[in-house]
Amino acid sequence: MHKFGLIALISVVFFLFSELAAQETTVHNCQIIKEYADGTVLLKIDGKEMLAVTQSMERNMLKLKRDVLDAQKEIFLKDSLLANYDNTIAQYEKTINQMRDYIRELEYVLKGYKDLAHDYKKMRVPNVSFRVGVGATSRDYKPAVMMGLDIRRVLISGIIQERNSGVLVGASFRIF
């Protein structure tokens, strides 16, 4: 059995080496077209032109590419902040306009309440009123009746007594 394992191992190794030997090695035709002062070289390989750069140039290009990507991200963030700022300004302006409309509406309502209060004050002073009174005159204190009519601020009153009668006309003035 040990011989069988050794034979199998030799077969596998032989098979692998024969496969490696069967693969062709390709030879590329490479030609230098131009060398530049910065260390880069223009090459022509199998009919295709290529530019070969130094490792330091490659690192610098990668760093520049990274810097460009970082700058683009920063620009995107700032643009989004500006868009949010513009949106916020628009909302504030809308709120301010709504507040101004509300203030105008409140001023209109306040004027209405002031007019209503003025109308109530006018109604508090009666337009027409009737006055009646009882009293006595002369030495014997005979009873007398006084009746009157008030129209706004004008007073018209009459006195009736057993042998006397009279009419009074006056005006009413507000002190307080």
- The pLDDT tens digits of the residues spanning 61-85 come to 999 999 999 999 999 999 998 888 9
Range among 18-22, 91-95, 153-157 with highest mean pLDDT value: 91-95
Residue 176 in this model has a pLDDT that exceeds 80: no
Give the pLDDT of residue 14: 64
Pairing of strands 30-35, 48-52: unpaired
The pLDDT value given to residue 40: 84
Q: Is the pLDDT of residue 21 over 60?
A: no
The band of 89, judged by pLDDT with boundaries at 50, 70 and 90, is: very high
pLDDT digit string (tens) for 96-128? 999 999 999 999 999 999 999 988 887 776 678
**Residues 129, 133: Cα–Cα separation, whole Å:** 13
Find all residues with CB under 8 Å of 8, minimum gap 6, and list them: none
Sheet order of strands, 142-151 included: 128-137, 142-151, 154-161, 165-171
Tokens of 18: 């024969």
CA separation for the pair 67, 98 (Å, rounded): 46
15: pLDDT strictly greater than 70: no
